[in-house]
Amino acid sequence: MIALIIIGVIVLILIIYVIATYNGLVNFRNRVKDSWADIEVLLKRRNDLIPNLVETVKGYAAHEKSTLDEVVTARNNAVNAKGAEEEMKASGALSAALGNLFAVAESYPDLKANTNFLDLQANLRDTEDKIATSRDMYNTMVLQYKNKLEMFPSNIIASMFKFTPEAFFEAEEADKELPGVKF
């Protein structure tokens, strides 16, 4: 009789452990998805600001068509991206294109003094800062989730219920290169 009670207690403890571990994995997976959703909201905000910025710049820098086209193309690619990895790549390309646009804007004193342009530029900078912070948070969540998936004994439960790791938000190779500085 005591042996049955001990076996019952052990089985109950194992069941409680499996449930707790499963729920913990679901919690981590959902936190990763929530972090990605935060990034998507900010990317949408940035994508919504860009047409206004491009129109403002067009009036001052009509002969900078290639830079404007690059921004528009990068924005369209970002809007049409499917899946996290494609969105990550498109976001990096859009950030680079915006950097080029702001560099071009430096050549136009009237544009730099335009209130609408300054407001749009400040909003985009603020949004870019929030995107960077959200990317950091996302990568932290992905790391915690990945650790939970790979560490013993939770890795057993993860493999039983087919939990899969998420991709980190990584910088593009072009973003890792040091910019050239000329005086």
pLDDT per residue as tens, the chain (183 positions)? 899 999 999 999 999 999 999 999 999 999 999 999 999 999 999 989 888 888 888 777 666 777 888 888 988 888 898 888 888 888 888 888 888 888 877 777 777 677 888 888 888 889 999 999 999 999 999 999 999 999 999 999 999 999 999 999 876 655 555 444 343
Helix (H) or strand (E) holding 178: none
Contacts 24+ apart (CB under 8 A), 63-69: 64/104, 67/97, 67/100, 67/101, 67/104, 68/101
Asked if 93 contacts 175 with a C-beta cutoff of 8 angstroms, the reply is no
Cα(42)–Cα(126) distance, integer angstroms: 10
The first and second tokens of residue 35, run together, are 């972090």
Q: What angle do CA 159, 27, 144 make, to 5 degrees?
A: 75
The CA-based diameter of the chain, rounded to the nearest angstrom, is 90
Helix (H) or strand (E) holding 170: none
Cα(138)–Cα(146) distance, integer angstroms: 12
Asked if 50 contacts 128 with a C-beta cutoff of 8 angstroms, the reply is no
pTM, two decimals, is: 0.75
Q: At what angle do helices 84-105 and 65-80 cross, to 10 degrees?
A: 160
